[in-house]
Amino acid sequence: MFRTFLFCIALSGIFSSPSPVCSQEKLKALIIDGQNNHSMWPKTTAMMKHYLEESGRFTVDVARTRFTWQGGELLKQYPAGDKIPRKDLPESRPDPDFKPNFSAYDVVINNFGWKAAAWPEETQQAFEDYVSNGGGLAIIHAADNSFPEWQAYNLMIGLGGWGGRNEASGPYVYFDQQGKEVRDESPGSGGSHGPKHEFQIVVRDQDHPITKGLPTSWMHTSDELYQQLRGPGMNMRILATAYSAPDFRGTDRHEPMIMTISFGEGRVFHTPMGHDDVSFECVGFITTFLRGVEWAATGEVTLTEIPDDFPKADSASRRAFEDR
Ligand code: ZN
């Protein structure tokens, strides 16, 4: 695909070899955003951009809708990270000029959210073509709330929530207490969560490049535990789950937390984690996000190093992010 070859100079001396990362082609990533009910979306986009660039594996561009929810003047009034009162939130409006050149990228990271306005038809078609022709896609948290009416989008995300999703969208998919994947056709709305809390992520499939070699469980920083997601769930592989405890208004089920989906020739990495900056600061989130985005771009993972500050089974680990 479209990769920029990076010519590296070994800074440590003319006789030393370039590091493995330096000798690789950088992958081209595009973060798309602009309409998200999560008030800190500009900050979480900045965080993802930073993580991707810091890995040495990606160059990153951002494409943003012109009519942003919580954008423009509001961003001056409420600096990134501030919670904008619901009363001050303008509704999303369609942006007829939102036409990113998806096919110029190896991977697109979707940071849209609930109530995002439908994209222009031409943009939807370009996006479908991009993914089905082998493009990579990453779906983060509320991006699985977006575009409930868009059939191809629902196939790409596998499972979604809110926006009127119900039994017509597809089954609830979760793991039962015996560790068996369940596809539950019972009627009901898709998507809910209890209060934010720390919860444990459990790897269910270690044979995938995204999870290979990772600890089998780790504690995630405080986040919304998305539950009762439902959708077509076709060509979907659930790599990790989290137990949704009744103490936190949970389902008593093990809910999907890391999924991969194939759509045509395209690869999709989907995580419902990532409600706010605290969730994004989790070292487990950062590690699996980078692996997931790289896998979506190439089908392989070279970012296999497990950081020293990776969380333990019973204790979370955060890297404080300062706005840059
Ligand atoms: Zn959220």
- Taking the centre of ligand 1 as the mean of its atom positions, its distance from the CA of residue 275, in whole angstroms, is 4
Spatial separation of the C-alpha atoms in residues 130 and 102, rounded to whole Å:
6
Reported confidence tier of residue 93, pLDDT bands at 50, 70, 90? confident
Spatial separation of the C-alpha atoms in residues 107 and 166, rounded to whole Å:
29
- Taking the centre of ligand 1 as the mean of its atom positions, its distance from the CA of residue 135, in whole angstroms, is 26
120 secondary structure, DSSP code:
P
Q: Determine the average pLDDT of the residues in 220-230.
A: 98
Spatial separation of the C-alpha atoms in residues 116 and 202, rounded to whole Å:
31
Q: Which phi and psi angles does 140 have, rounded to 5°?
A: -115, 125
- Taking the centre of ligand 1 as the mean of its atom positions, its distance from the CA of residue 299, in whole angstroms, is 28
- Taking the centre of ligand 1 as the mean of its atom positions, its distance from the CA of residue 223, in whole angstroms, is 8
The torsion defined by the Cα of 49, 55, 58 and 63, in degrees rounded to 10, comes to 0
Nearest residue to 227 via CA among 204, 250, 246: 250
Q: Would the pLDDT of 101 be above 60?
A: yes
- Taking the centre of ligand 1 as the mean of its atom positions, its distance from the CA of residue 284, in whole angstroms, is 18
Q: Would the pLDDT of 231 be above 70?
A: yes
- Taking the centre of ligand 1 as the mean of its atom positions, its distance from the CA of residue 155, in whole angstroms, is 21
pTM of the model: 0.89
Q: Would the pLDDT of 74 be above 90?
A: no
Instruction: Tell me what pLDDT residue 92 has.
Output: 76
Q: What is the largest CA-CA distance in the chain?
A: 66
* Residue whose token pair is 């990228």: 105
- Taking the centre of ligand 1 as the mean of its atom positions, its distance from the CA of residue 20, in whole angstroms, is 37
* Residue whose token pair is 């984690």: 273
Amino acid residing at 149? E
Question: Which residues place a Cβ less than 5 A from the ion ligand 1?
Answer: 224, 275
- Taking the centre of ligand 1 as the mean of its atom positions, its distance from the CA of residue 141, in whole angstroms, is 7
313, HSE (Cβ side, Cα atoms, 13 Å): 5
Q: Which phi and psi angles does 296 have, rounded to 5°?
A: -60, -35
Spatial separation of the C-alpha atoms in residues 269 and 258, rounded to whole Å:
7
Q: Write the burial class of residue 150 (CB in 10 Å: 0-12 exposed, 13-18 middle, 19+ buried).
A: middle
Spatial separation of the C-alpha atoms in residues 154 and 171, rounded to whole Å:
12
Q: Which phi and psi angles does 234 have, rounded to 5°?
A: -85, 145
Q: Which phi and psi angles does 88 have, rounded to 5°?
A: -90, 0
46 secondary structure, DSSP code:
H
Q: Do you know the residue count of the chain?
A: 324
pLDDT tens digit string along 5-30?
444 443 333 444 444 455 578 999 99
Q: Would the pLDDT of 128 be above 60?
A: yes
pLDDT tens digit string along 297-306?
999 999 999 9
Instruction: Tell me what pLDDT residue 323 has.
Output: 58
Instruction: Tell me what pLDDT residue 79 has.
Output: 53
What residues contact 320, with CB distance under 8 A and at least 6 apart? Answer: 281
Q: Would the pLDDT of 141 be above 80?
A: yes
Instruction: Tell me what pLDDT residue 83 has.
Output: 59
What residues contact 28, with CB distance under 8 A and at least 6 apart? Answer: 1, 2, 3, 4, 58, 59, 61, 104, 105, 106, 107
Q: Are 61 and 106 in contact (CB under 8 A)?
A: no
Per the rule left: phi > 0, alpha: psi between -120 and 50, beta: everything else, 143 is alpha
- Alpha carbon of residue 149 to chain centroid: 20
Q: What share of the chain is helix, strand, coil (3-state, %, to 5)?
A: 25, 25, 50
Instruction: Tell me what pLDDT residue 80 has.
Output: 53
